[in-house]
Amino acid sequence: MINSIDGYLDSLKKELNGCDSATIQDALSDAEEHLRTAIDQGLEESDKVVEADILANVIEKYGTPDETANAYRDMEERLKPAFARPQVSSNKSIISRFFGIFADAGAWGSLMYMIFALVTGIIYFTWAVTGISIGLSMIVLIIGIPIIIIFLYSVRGIAFIEGRIVEALLGERMPRRSRFTDKNVKLWDRIKNLLTDRSTWSGILYLILQLPLGIIYFSLMITLIATSIASIFAPMVEVLMNVSLIHFGGEMYYAPLWVLPLITVGGILLLTISMHLAKFVGKIHGKYAKALLVSE
């Protein structure tokens, strides 16, 4: 028999063994919030009611750990991320799979993420460095401690927002709700939990690393796409407008006519490879984001 909320959460975590870590975090947060809220309401209504009796009634309505775990498994099957990566059919030819990348929503989502990662990287890095520098510089003063605590809580909020962006564009399942904070826990215990939580410090690391990653992603994709588009349309410009896009030493160089179709084909191939690369990088970054932003 389950006699405490912690016991229920432990049992639920065991029942969810093998599920996605983001699913487990959401399930535990939902269950804890529901159970604690119901118990608090029950205790307010009657002082004579024992907490264990209230918990038993709440579990009867909410569901046992195995029932809750099964409900979350069923829900996960129905609610896939928008850009979740489906299994590629092995019946298609290599050429179809290669050029079919342009019809893959996940590839376009990854491309968008890599391009805009520079903007989010600048914002995350600036916030992390500013928060750390101000907090540490004022640690000797009383005001420095609340600044650090507020900054650490803000990291959780930013990590949640980034997780929603990752799921929306990269198709990687991330937490869909913020983590539950029990208001009955003493302030010092909250701070201690915040400081000892691995995801707090891994979240800061993620914010800092997002800037160099964003620079790499943006530079790589913009260079590849620009080169691909230039290669595709350069022969047309040279033939129709008698203008070469190749300039060196103040002079224009024209490619032979038999080379022009090869340049166009090369540009199409490079653009296709760039889309495959974007999808691959997006998949890797999604796993990396989950490892740093999802709580154990």
pLDDT at 176: 87
pLDDT at 85: 60
pLDDT at 273: 95
pLDDT at 128: 95
pLDDT at 60: 81
* Ranges of residues in the chain whose predicted pLDDT is under 70: 1, 43-51, 82-91, 238-257, 296
How confident is the model over 76-128, as pLDDT tens digits? 887 777 666 655 556 678 888 888 899 888 999 999 999 999 999 999 999 99
* 132 vs 162: CA distance, rounded Å: 19
Q: Which of 275, 265, 202, 207 minimizes the C-alpha distance to 234?
A: 265
Return the amino acid letter for 264: T
pLDDT at 243: 62
How confident is the model over 158-168, as pLDDT tens digits? 999 999 999 99
pLDDT at 248: 59
Q: Which of 245, 27, 214 minimizes the C-alpha distance to 124?
A: 214
pTM recorded for the entire structure: 0.83
